[in-house]
């Protein structure tokens, strides 16, 4: 895989499959996939990416909150690789906010997500980690985690009127 790896688009079969756990942390293909995920996410100006988006049905994701044209108010945080992640809800309240997806270009939607979660995952060496996330980083994690379940953010939309064209979204945030 090169850094110009295409991001699969909605309709690709792997985006609707449950991703498989990673059990071999020494495998060269695993490390190459991580490198490609990171490069592809940065090139696409994404704030997160999951392995199924590159055609790999593996439980691997990266969250990388930072201000971008698509998310101008996102907080800055270093990219975090998460392998075999799971989470528990810390705050049951749901908050609707705008989301887009590198696999669903041109569309934005209001999506309800939990505001605060605690994530358990393995790092690149397979060591267990825990991380508390809230607000935008928690939203990014839940969005990417859905990819591991075979879901996309549009599956979480409560009302079709909450879906808009990205051109309309940019008009709203510019106002």
pLDDT digits (tens, 9 = 90+) for 92-106: 999 999 999 999 999
- Closest CA relative to residue 75, chosen from 121, 133, 147: 133
Each domain of the chain, given as residue ranges in start order, spans: 13-174
Position 1 pLDDT exceeds 60: no
Q: Is 143 annotated as a binding residue?
A: yes
State the virtual CA torsion across 62, 65, 68, 71 in degrees, nearest 10.
Answer: 110
β-pairing verdict for 128-134 and 163-165: unpaired
Q: Is 95 annotated as a binding residue?
A: no
Catalytic residue numbers read 144
In the prediction, which pLDDT does 173 show? Answer: 82
pLDDT tens per residue across span 46-72: 999 999 999 999 999 999 999 988 888
Q: Is 73 annotated as a binding residue?
A: no
What is the CATH code for 13-174?
A: 3.90.45.10
Predicted structure pTM score: 0.95
In the prediction, which pLDDT does 71 show? Answer: 86
């Amino acid at each position: 895989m090169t850094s110009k790896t295409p991001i699969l688009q909605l309709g690709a079969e792997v985006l609707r499959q449950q991703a498989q756990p990673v059990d071999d942390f020494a495998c060269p293909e695993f490390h190459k996939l991580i490198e490609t995920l990171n490069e592809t996410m940065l090139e696409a100006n994404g704030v997160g990416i999951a392995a199924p988006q590159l055609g790999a049905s593996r439980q691997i994701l990266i969250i990388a909150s930072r201000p971008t044209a698509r998310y101008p108010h996102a907080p800055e945080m270093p990219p975090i690789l998460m392998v075999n992640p799971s989470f528990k809800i810390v705050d049951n309240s749901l908050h609707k906010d705008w989301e887009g997806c590198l696999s669903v270009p041109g569309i934005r939607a209001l999506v309800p997500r939990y505001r605060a979660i605690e994530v358990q995952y393995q790092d690149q060496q397979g060591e267990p980690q825990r991380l508390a996330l809230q607000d935008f980083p928690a939203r990014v994690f839940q969005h990417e985690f859905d990819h591991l379940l075979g879901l996309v953010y549009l599956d979480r939309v409560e009302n079709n009127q909450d879906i808009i064209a990205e051109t309309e979204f940019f008009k709203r945030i510019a106002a």
